[in-house]
């Protein structure tokens, strides 16, 4: 079985970069100096992933998962909304229309790597106005092919809304979404769920034209998932370290969980990661959790 480690979601910025962004906002440093410090953070992230086959740039320049799309389309910012039960707030994007523009500027948000972490439909539905499934399908049809050309081969569609809100209407939309965007795109497409138990919706997810499912194992029971998973020809992105808690997991407990995943689910491929965005942790703790995942993979498998 193919086993890898990857980042998940937005990665935390270093304290130096956080200070630099504040200094830039207050006109204390130049834009060139800010970019230099960004480059230092990107270099550190590359080093952390030096032996990874699935590499992300950490989305360090993304304020949230949706805002880069305001560059791509005619949008305006329309208030703030709390990001589920976290202490993070998203700026609500109002789509005035979905006509694509500034595609090159949008692609500049993807700095390096082969893992594109993207908002799934639920992020658009709950954190934007004038949500339109057909238009979002059209947007992704264009940008996924361009990301393929840039060398991206793994696509995580971040979908906390599905389990959190138990949105069964969203299930039907997602089934249609993946059916329509799958054609012409090379690479692994993964619906990445988190922030909730997905036992009520996982049966329907198996109907989607995807290569894998992301499951937050801090909130999902392996026995319950096993009952639904039997003999599924799908990969698994396993959120096995808690990115909402600074405690560093113990080896024995996580090893037991991994053994059960391997024995009971037998996924087509297995990617070890955090339960959700590493962004919710301080940078040094996120680094330690990532090092733990690397140690786990190298020691056991």
- Of the pLDDT bands very low, low, confident and very high (cuts 50, 70, 90), residue 59 is very high
CATH class of 2-13+54-60+110-300: alpha beta
Q: Where are the domains of the chain?
A: 2-13+54-60+110-300
DSSP string, the chain: -EEEE---SPPPPPHHHHHHHHHHHTTSS-HHHHHHHHHHHHHHHHHHTTT-SS---TTTT-SSSSTTHHHHTEEEEEEEEE-TTSS-EEEEEEEEE-----HHHHHTT--SSSEEEEE-HHHHHHHEES--HHHHHHHHHHHHHHHHHTT--EEEEE--HHHHHT-HHHHHHHHHHHHHHSTT--SEEEEE--SS--TTTHHHHTTSS-SEEEEETTTS-HHHHHHHHTT---EEEEEEE-TT--PPPPHHHHHHHHHHIIIII--SEEEEEESS-GGGS-HHHHHHHHHHHHHHHHHH-
Mean pLDDT over 10-32 rounds to 95
Residue pLDDT, tens place only, 270-283? 999 999 999 999 99
Residue pLDDT, tens place only, 132-150? 999 999 999 999 999 999 9
- Of the pLDDT bands very low, low, confident and very high (cuts 50, 70, 90), residue 183 is confident
Residue pLDDT, tens place only, 106-120? 999 999 999 999 999
């Amino acid at each position: 079985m193919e086993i890898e480690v990857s980042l998940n979601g937005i990665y935390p910025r270093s304290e130096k970069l956080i200070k630099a962004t504040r200094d830039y906002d207050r006109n204390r440093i130049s834009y060139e100096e800010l970019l230099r410090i960004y480059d230092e953070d990107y270099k550190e992230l590359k080093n952390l992933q030096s032996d990874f086959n699935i590499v992300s740039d950490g989305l360090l320049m993304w304020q949230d998962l949706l805002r880069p799309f305001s560059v791509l389309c005619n949008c305006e910012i329309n208030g703030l909304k709390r990001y589920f039960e976290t202490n993070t707030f998203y700026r609500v994007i109002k789509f005035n229309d979905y006509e694509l523009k500034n595609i090159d500027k949008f692609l500049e948000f993807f700095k390096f790597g082969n893992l594109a972490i993207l908002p799934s439909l639920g992020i658009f539905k709950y954190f934007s106005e004038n949500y339109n499934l057909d238009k979002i399908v059209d947007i992704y049809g264009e940008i996924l092919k361009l990301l393929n050309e840039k060398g991206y081969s793994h696509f995580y569609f971040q979908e906390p809304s599905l389990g959190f809100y138990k949105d069964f209407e969203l299930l039907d939309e997602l089934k249609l979404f993946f059916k329509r965007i799958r054609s012409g795109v090379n690479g692994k497409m993964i619906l990445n769920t988190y922030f909730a138990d997905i036992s009520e919706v996982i049966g329907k997810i198996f109907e989607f034209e995807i290569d894998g499912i992301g499951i937050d194992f801090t909130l999902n029971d392996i026995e319950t998932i096993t009952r639904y998973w039997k003999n599924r020809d799908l990969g698994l992105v396993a959120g096995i370290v808690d990115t909402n808690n600074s405690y560093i997991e113990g080896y024995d407990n996580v090893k037991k969980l991994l053994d059960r995943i391997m024995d009971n689910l037998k996924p087509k491929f297995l990617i070890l990661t955090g339960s959700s965005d590493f962004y919710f942790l301080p940078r040094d703790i996120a680094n330690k959790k990532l090092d733990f995942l690397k140690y786990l993979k190298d020691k056991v498998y």
